[in-house]
Structures are given as C-alpha cells and as structure tokens.
A = this chain, B = another copy of it.
C-alpha cells in the first residue's frame, strides 16, 4: 500500500467520508491534498480501482465514501501510531462485568485447553470465565492487542467436536495475574473472556455491571 493512497484516504476520512458519503469535488480534494484538481481526480480513480473508496457520480458533484478495506488501511496506520505513542508494555481496557452464558466455562473446562493454559500461562484456570464488556471507546484497543503476538493456544478435536486455535494475552486485574482469551480467527466483539486461577468475581467482590479495568501485557 503506497503511502500516497493512505494519505488521500486519511484526508477523505477527516472530511467525514468514513461514516457516510460526502460530496467532495476533485478541486476540493485537491485543496485538501495540496495538489491540482487534475491530480486529485486521478487519485480518486486510483482509489476506486483498488476498491478503497466507492463513488456515487451524481449530476453535479460526485459523492465518495471509504469502503471497509479503505477503513482497514487507515486502521493499520492508526495502530502504528498507537504502538509509537501509547504502548509502553501494556494496554488498559475499561469496561463492565457482564453475565456470560456458560459457553466460556464449557470451553475453558476442556482439558485440551486447560493443559496448555497451565503450561504456557503458569496457572491452572478456575473453571469458567469472567466476561467484561469493553467500553465503546476502548474496543479499538482490541485491534492493537490482536496485532501483537500473544500466546498461541492450539485447537484440538475431542469427542467428535473441534475446538479452534485461541490466543491468550497475559493480563492483570488489580494486580491479580489473569489472561484474556480470544479465538484466533475472531470477528468483531466487545466482550472479552478473562481466565484466572482464582474466581475473580468472588475474590474481588464483583457484581454484574461493576466497572473494572484490566491491564493487558504486550
């Protein structure tokens, strides 16, 4: 991905083209990019060709908008900046305790996972997970965490059922060692599952909807 394309995408995003179509003439975009109308027009065609933006070429003025892959390119660059400016050796996520539906417990209880947790994390997890709903403004941090390596936990098959690869990230809640566990191939979620040697809910006297901070090591 050439830098000039992300530069253009960023300026379009700043003009509001990330949530919605915006009406921007090639001249206006040229002003934003400090280049001529002709070059801006060419840039738009290039972005279109690469599927980074989509366009609605109306009668008077074109309307453009970033595509999902255009937004992804920007996020990549954004995460580089986070790595530069935010990351020391951990990221703090803010959120609230939520009730799980027991599926976390079902997975964690599998010996195929438990043995690896013990070997790679240094503690045998209490059966069941603590579910934290991450604040909307912090969900982006999950991308940054996922862009780091983490501790890979291999999937396995047991009783005709297959359990996929997951990734664990060592974490701390009020100085208690724990880890967050996410599926290796996961979609967007705002609830994370925390495993710990202790029963965190009891140990820390947490209730549903209690506010909580978790420090994820990188």
Q: What is the interface of chain A, defined by CB distance below 8 A to chain B?
A: 3-4, 7, 10, 13-14, 18, 74-75, 77-78, 80-81, 83-86, 88, 91-92, 94, 135-137, 140, 213
Contacts and interface: CB of A to CB of B under 8 A. Distances in A.
B78 A74 contact: no
9 contacts: A13-B84, A14-B83, A14-B84, A18-B84, A74-B84, A74-B85, A78-B84, A78-B85, A88-B137
Contacts of A4: 3
A32 to B, nearest CB: 12
Given A18-B84, A81-B81, A91-B137, 15 more contacts: A3-B4, A10-B81, A10-B84, A13-B84, A14-B84, A74-B85, A75-B85, A78-B81, A78-B85, A86-B137, A88-B137, A92-B94, A92-B137, A94-B94, A94-B213
A140 B88 CA distance: 13
A3 B14 contact: no
Contacts of A91: 137
A136 B81 CA distance: 17
A10 B80 contact: yes
A81 B135 CA distance: 19
Nearest to A17: B84
Contacts of A213: 94
Given A3-B3, A94-B94, A80 B137 contact: no
A197 to B, nearest CB: 25
Contacts of A3: 3-4, 7
Given A3-B3, A92-B137, A94-B94, A77 B84 contact: no
A37 to B, nearest CB: 19
